[in-house]
Amino acid sequence: MRFEIAGRIKGVSYAIRDLVVHAEKLEAEGKKITYFNIGDPSLYFDTPDHLKEALVDAVNSGFNGYAPSEGLPELREAICYKEEKVNGVRGLEAEDVIVTAGISEGIQMFLGAIANPGDEILIPGPSYPPYVSFSKFFGANPIMFRCIEEEGWQPDLDDVRKKITDKTKALILVNPNNPCGSVYGPKVVRELISISGEYGIPLVSDEIYDRIVYDKEFTSTASIAKDVPVIGFNGFSKAYLVTGWRVGYMYFYDPEEQLTELRESIEKEARVRICANTPAQKACVAAINGPQNHIPELVSQLKERRNFTYKRLNEISGLSCVKPEGAFYAFPKVETMKWKDDMDFVLRVLSETQLLFVNGSGFDPVYGKDHFRMVFLPDLKVLEEALDKLESFLKKNC
């Protein structure tokens, strides 16, 4: 057949899942792989019964057809309620919310509406890979601003300012951060809001881990943004343990109606893709309005696993790790990189120990270099066995 693959696809990658191909080859040889690459809490914690019952009820009650493209009205209203009650974001109305198939679809829609070839998107380095991949897909240039490892992976505000140009079309926050686990306090968030307002750059705040924090109070960007508009991303996958349901949302905090054209443009995209999963949307209403007692228990168990992982990683010669304050990832640094690069490192670890981590450069080739990401979702026994294997690997190879 005579065709040529579109050039835009060459910039698309997703290190978190791209590495699975290598693990599957080993599994085909009969080896058992322990996966530490994907942040799926539903593999380790049971979805609350009232959510499962709500999904079954939705199906049995006939919610099996198309939903409105922007989302079920009752879910959009519930999201406004949740954002005010949990995160202190006031003034949202249902029409300010668009329900998406996970945050990743929201990222794609946002960048599809705002990014032209040659534009620049300011993204934390390191950060969640789709921000980079979708920027490239639409012809924009992802510009990574430094997050300072020695300061708990906090944003370098001077670097943010230095990298703003007349081509900058958006400033991205991921808070709590994936892959670093950093949580930005109100002072830092206010500074980023101020930069957005000063330069007139749309501010995106990805807050999917808002309810999974350990040592700090979480500060939602829109809750303190005052007259600066914010595009908020969030969803149900992590805190409600329904990753496979693929229900996320974006909202437009827009007190002075500066985002109207952007919102209307994204609504057009939402219509083209029809709608998000209807019965899952219906069940997510119950997620917000129903019992929340599983969340503090989830956070308590994750904190114990975080503490163990952090302590154990820093006891291993050749590794150092900043303490994660939110989410469920550790992002250790390999102090002496004796391998070709961090990709070679994780592939060697996989081959010799059957542990699958993610190379740090998959989150940013500069600020993620010589690191790897691991989830600390498994129970303590699994974590202990894995970190013992990792320590033995490093002793053997260093």
306 with 332, same domain: the answer is yes
Q: Within a domain: residue 324?
A: yes
DSSP label of 317: T
Q: Within a domain: residue 385?
A: yes
201 with 320, same domain: the answer is no
340 with 274, same domain: the answer is no
Residue 176, preceding bond cis, omega within 30 degrees? yes
145 with 220, same domain: the answer is yes
Q: What percent of the chain has pLDDT over 70?
A: 100
At residue 397's C-alpha, the angle toward residues 395 and 398, to 5°, is 70
Q: Within a domain: residue 56?
A: no
316 with 255, same domain: the answer is no
- Cβ pair 206, 175 in contact under 8 A: yes
269 with 163, same domain: the answer is yes
pLDDT in tens, 337-359: 888 999 999 999 999 999 999 99
Q: How far apart are CA 19 and CA 168, in angstroms?
A: 32
Greater confidence, 74 or 396?
A: 74
pLDDT in tens, 55-66: 999 999 999 999
- Cβ pair 330, 321 in contact under 8 A: yes
Q: Within a domain: residue 57?
A: no
249 with 269, same domain: the answer is yes
375 pLDDT band, cuts 50/70/90, is: very high
**Last residue in a domain, options 271, 289, 307:** 289
Greater confidence, 287 or 398?
A: 287
272 with 143, same domain: the answer is yes
CB atoms within 10 A of CB 310: 18
DSSP β-bridge partners for residue 374 = 330
Query: What is the pTM for the complete model shown?
Result: 0.94
Contacts of 297 (CB under 8 A, 6+ apart): none
How much is the pLDDT for 397?
A: 86
CB atoms within 10 A of CB 125: 22
- Cβ pair 333, 245 in contact under 8 A: no
The CATH code of the domain that includes 181 is 3.40.640.10
Q: Within a domain: residue 355?
A: yes
pLDDT for 128 beyond 80: yes
Query: Helix or strand or coil: residue 247?
Result: coil
170 with 237, same domain: the answer is yes
Q: Within a domain: residue 363?
A: yes
Q: How far apart are CA 147 and CA 144, in angstroms?
A: 9
Q: Within a domain: residue 189?
A: yes
Q: How far apart are CA 250 and CA 51, in angstroms?
A: 21
How much is the pLDDT for 6?
A: 81
Helix ranges (H only) for the chain are 15-18, 20-28, 49-60, 73-87, 102-114, 130-137, 157-162, 186-199, 260-272, 278-289, 294-315, 342-353, 380-397
Greater confidence, 3 or 73?
A: 73
Q: The tokens of 53 are what?
A: 């019952």
How much is the pLDDT for 172?
A: 98
**Last residue in a domain, options 266, 289, 312:** 289
Q: How far apart are CA 46 and CA 270, in angstroms?
A: 31
Torsion of CA 115, 116, 118, 121, to 10 degrees: 0
99 with 222, same domain: the answer is yes
pLDDT in tens, 29-42: 999 999 999 999 99
Which one, of 251, 111, 102, 213, lies nearest residue 172 by Cα? 111
Q: Within a domain: residue 203?
A: yes
Q: 247: domain range?
A: 66-289
The CATH code of the domain that includes 41 is 3.90.1150.10
31 with 95, same domain: the answer is no
pLDDT in tens, 285-313: 999 999 999 999 999 999 999 999 999 99
How much is the pLDDT for 200?
A: 96
126 with 245, same domain: the answer is yes
Indicate if the alpha-carbon torsion angle 155, 18, 306, 316 is positive or negative: negative
Q: The tokens of 274 are what?
A: 């029809």
- Cβ pair 202, 235 in contact under 8 A: no
Structurally, how many domains does the chain consist of?
2
**Last residue in a domain, options 261, 289, 317:** 289
